[in-house]
A = this chain, B = another copy of it.
Amino acid sequence: MTGRKTIKVGSPTLVDVAREAGVSVSTAARVVRGSDTSVDATLKERVRAAATRVAYVPNALARTLRAGAPTLVGLIVGDMLDPFYGEIAEAITEQAESMHSMLAVVCNMHRDPELELKYCRRLWEYRVGGLILAGGGFDQWTHRARLAELTSQMVTGGVVVTTLTPRGLDVPAFHADNQMVGRMAAEELLRAGHRRIGILIGAQQNYVSEARLRGMTEAFVEAGAEFDIAYVEYSSPAAEVGVASLFERHPRITGVIAGSYAMSMGIFRWLRATGRSVPDDVSVVGIGNTRVAEWMSPKLTAINLKLDQFGCAALSHIAATLGKSEQGDLPSTQPEVVRGESVSRVFEGARPGPGSGGAAAR
């Protein structure tokens, strides 16, 4: 309450708190930090009061700089607006705050490898405690070398990949068993009696697509089902074109597997536009369940990749490496089917699709 002679500019610091409480900066720091060494109860209270009186908010920049214990984590996603990545980002940011008391910085690489590199560097400028790559830009050779060089510099919690298997990038990865995912999607259709299947899958042929396809192929071959594949971009319009070409080649398809939520939207649109009903005429199974899939009409049946849990596992790994917390038991990350309304049983002699004639492929 003593009148200040000089006008303070900038936010209050520990020095201000110490002066206000009439103690040394060290003591103020000890109290604020809630540190190991004990402080007299009276003093502690006095410092606390002083801190709130001057509205002290600790400076994380200085703290991190001095203590070398980062509280930022970087997350680079392929496309913020795609709920596939959105839900990862949501889970990780939430978990970072509530569980590790860290702050996650989400960067949107916009499916552009160049941007991924840029953000990588920028995040490292802030000395993030770890970096979670969920974009997959590294699936290109020339790019990967630069990324590897850049990330090898990061000395703290390290780099971690989720949703993808990083080819030739030596970092821990957290993602679903994609072969099993593919198999589950296939079996969902097989179980309902479908034997003529169209598959829409991502155009960039990475380990993920390959593994999923392997799973599907196995299941379909075992069951003696026919199928054909369209490689399209991860977007709704691209999927419309893709599903159209599939039906042009194989008009009697009764079941479609959509490689992503965006694709399933496009498939729904095209099917409806061509007078086909979901699921009465064509059943659709999506890969990757998102919350919004419930909002579709009909509700999408999809394989839940548990992206949120893999994201959290990645984060926990980083936190553990930083020594911030022990790696607790993680929940099961088996993929599972979330049944909506987009798959229906096919009975013997079920009606063929509108365009008749011609057998399904392979």
Contact = CB atoms under 8 A, between A and B. Distances in A.
Contacts of A80: 86, 89-90, 93
A59 B65 contact: yes
A108 to B, nearest CB: 6
Interface stretch (A225-233, A245-253, A288-296, A310-318): A288-296
Contacts of A127: 11, 59-61
Contacts of A297: 268-269, 272-273
A121 B265 contact: no
Interface string A162-182: 000000000000000000000
Interface string A1-18: 000000001110000000
B103 A105 contact: yes
Given A106-B106, A236-B292, 20 more contacts: A11-B124, A57-B124, A57-B153, A59-B127, A60-B126, A61-B126, A65-B65, A80-B89, A80-B90, A81-B86, A93-B107, A93-B108, A94-B108, A97-B119, A97-B122, A103-B122, A265-B296, A266-B295, A269-B295, A269-B297
Interface of A: 9-11, 55, 57-62, 64-65, 68, 72, 80-81, 83, 86-87, 89-90, 93-94, 97, 103, 105-108, 110, 118-119, 121-127, 149, 153-155, 236, 262, 265-266, 268-269, 272-273, 291-292, 294-297
